[in-house]
Structure 1
Amino acid sequence: GSFLTFPALVFTGVPPIVANATSALAVSPGYLGSTLGFRPELRALPMTRLRREMLIAAVGGVAGALLLLVTPAKVFSGIVPWLLLFATVLFAAGPAIARRARAGAADGPGLARWREPGLLAVAIYGGYFNGGLGILLMALYTLTGEGRIHTVNALKNLNSLVLSWLSVAAFVIAGAIAWKEGLLMMVAATAGGFFGARWSKRLPAQAVRIGVIVTGLVMTALFFWRG
């Protein structure tokens, strides 16, 4: 979603930092539906673990949002193409990352101590720039010993919800939201999520993946061209 919402806002004249904050607002409702869909998996986990990881995700999300807000506009404009390129490459490499993570899952117990520091780092990135967040979280949980894919998805969705909503709250308090564009895009993104889920099932998964990658590369090229 952020491959489209962020560039669309920038190309219609919204300043990049405000566009990034508004894009986060626009796609945030989707995380709630995704999290509710994995309630059985979340209920099966210890509540102390969930609370601790939600707290880490919250701290990281707010820290990333604050980092964005103090970044000079010119500096952020300069790194946007690189962030888009990173997110695109991350998405393209997603299947390979997942395979390597599963192959290394046997080392999970030894890497488990890095789960919470890793979660904090990924949450800061997610609060700053949302692209590729889900892939990073899934790789983190798989590499640190979580072998059940549905539990990985559940934790990814829950912590994405927490860090996204709190980073958006920080953006709202700071006055960094373009409300007219953001609310319109939020409604459209919610409708798109509902109907898009149906339409995407009619397309080959590889075609959808290629479409996303091409979109990311085109947007990256346009932002590099804009300087």
Structure 2
Amino acid sequence: MQDVVFVAGAGLLGGAMNAIAGGGSFVTLPALVAAGVPSLNANATSTVALVPSALATAFAYRKDFQNFEQMKFSTMAAVSVIGGVLGALLLLSTPQRIFDAIFPFLLLFGVLVFAFGRQLGESLRARVKVHPATLPAAQFVLGVYGGYFGGAVGVMMMATWSVLTHASLNMMQASRNLLNAAMNATASLFFIFGGLIYWRQMGALLVGAVIGGYLAGHFGRKLDPALARKMVIGLNAVIVALVFWRQYG
């Protein structure tokens, strides 16, 4: 029961973080591992549990939803789903010992992208000439990453879109949650049928994430985005440091 309450609390916090600034999986994944779930299974379980949260948050931002410039949203959804399938298949073929070894570094990579991805996107925007085919191609790669691991994929999408489009922040918030849900929902089917899910922990995480995601998505506009982002970056950095200490300390 203590593990269930702990995981549910992590889901509440992770869902709220995803709604406000992203990076919720940096809480949910280590929480599942701390509750005794193997890292590969924790990755799959977290993916399944956070899909409804992403949908709930996208619903909260529904009034800001728009198509991308010269690109239908259905196309973006299709390449996200295809990428998510490939990423899920890649995870299913990864041995547990290999994933245990790369898990901390995937978290570290995600935290660095979360912290510096937006600045990198703005810098590239001033230097890169965008071809129309670049946006769906980039989204496909993001889909593969999202289906395999997913840490900071929402931030990666927003950083990529900030380079390739002129979309508003609120529009990107709505789209990233819906596309994240699309790629993760598809990957989740493979994880479920592949037998990777720890159902008791997934249920607790799911309930907490949905509540946290919807409440934060509904009230998140009242928060200072810059302050919220700094707090999330600080929390994520501490968690990743603890993961490295636990594995290599």
TM-score, shorter chain, exceeding 0.5: yes
Q: 2:48 corresponds to which letter in structure 1?
A: L
Quote the residue 1:173 is aligned against.
193
Shift, 1:155, TM fit: 3.3
Shift, 1:187, TM fit: 0.5
2:13 is the counterpart of 1:3: no
Alignment identity in percent? 32
Q: 1:142 corresponds to which letter in structure 2?
A: S
CA distance 1:188–1:37, shift in 2 (3 Å): closer
- Count of aligned pairs: 223
For structure 1, the 5+ residue unaligned runs are none
1:98-109 → structure 2 map (5 Å cutoff): 98-100=121-123, 103=126, 107=129
Question: In the alignment, is the contact (CA less than 8 A) between 1:104 and 1:143 conserved in 2?
Answer: no
CA distance 1:143–1:45, shift in 2 (3 Å): closer
- Identify which of 143, 168, 172 aligns with 1:152: 172
TM-score w.r.t. structure 2 length?
0.78
Deviates more, 1:61-70 or 1:32-41: 32-41
TM-score w.r.t. structure 1 length?
0.85
CA distance 1:207–1:156, shift in 2 (3 Å): closer
1:15-94 → structure 2 map (5 Å cutoff): 15-39=38-62, 42=65, 49-94=72-117
For structure 2, the 5+ residue unaligned runs are 1-23
Q: 1:160 corresponds to which letter in structure 2?
A: N
Question: In the alignment, is the contact (CA less than 8 A) between 2:80 and 2:139 conserved in 1?
Answer: yes
- Indicate the RMSD between aligned Cα atoms, in angstroms: 2.7
Quote the residue 1:124 is aligned against.
144
Question: In the alignment, is the contact (CA less than 8 A) between 1:85 and 1:216 conserved in 2?
Answer: no
Aligned residue for 1:28, secondary structure, equals helix
**Deviations 1:105-138 (Å, cap 9, x if unpaired)?**
8x3xx33222222111110001111111112112
CA distance 1:46–1:115, shift in 2 (3 Å): closer
Q: Within 2, Cα distance between the matches of 1:197 and 1:37?
A: 6
Q: Within 2, Cα distance between the matches of 1:165 and 1:81?
A: 24
Q: 1:193 corresponds to which letter in structure 2?
A: G
